[in-house]
Amino acid sequence: MSGRLAVGVTFVLWAIIPIVDKLALAGRPAPPAGVVARLLVAAVVLLPGLACSPALREGLAELGGREWLAFGVSGVISLLLAQYCYYVALRDRSVATLFPFLFGGAPVLTMGLAWAILGEPIGWRAGLGGGLIFLGSLLLFW
């Protein structure tokens, strides 16, 4: 899959995910149950791939301690903490306002963190565009 196609597929999938999540939360399950259900289904889908794919096992074996730690921290933040908070918010908020705020505002924060932590430059166009995106996200949310 090319990078451009991957971007397009990701874009569409990320647009579908909150709709499915909102439908799943319609019965008002506790957010921790939703997080665990999501992780268990993903594990059931991934484990056969791990068993059947030597390339995947080799890739995991090549990861060093730093990579395991970084992926582990990323997983705890994204798959547990952020997902739980997202489900709590999604139970009581409209998908049409919450999701654009999160996925419009978060990249702007990411830009600032990338500048502060990674030393990545932010040009004036990116800074202005990010500011406009964040303001638009705020308008949608409130």
Tens of pLDDT, residues 46-81: 888 888 888 888 888 898 999 999 999 999 998 889
pTM for this prediction? 0.76
Looking up tokens 């319609």, which residue turns up?
26
Q: How far apart are CA 53 and CA 55, in angstroms?
A: 5
Q: Are 108 and 19 in contact (CB under 8 A)?
A: no
Mean residue pLDDT across the chain: 88
DSSP assignment of 89-131, as one string?
A: HHHHS-HHHHHHHHHHHHHHHHHHHIIIII-----HHHHHHHH
Q: Where are the domains of the chain?
A: 1-92, 94-142
CA 127 vs. chain centroid, Å, equals 22
> What's the confidence (pLDDT) of residue 2?
85
3-state secondary structure of 53: coil
Structure tokens belonging to residue 94: 């409209």
Tens of pLDDT, residues 74-111: 999 988 899 899 999 888 888 888 888 888 888 888 89
Structure tokens belonging to residue 75: 């997983």
> What's the confidence (pLDDT) of residue 122?
92
Residue type, 13: L
Structure tokens belonging to residue 80: 């547990």
Looking up tokens 């594990």, which residue turns up?
43
Rg (CA), the chain: 18
> What's the confidence (pLDDT) of residue 76?
92
The backbone torsions φ and ψ at residue 122, rounded to the nearest 5 degrees and listed phi first, read: -120, 110
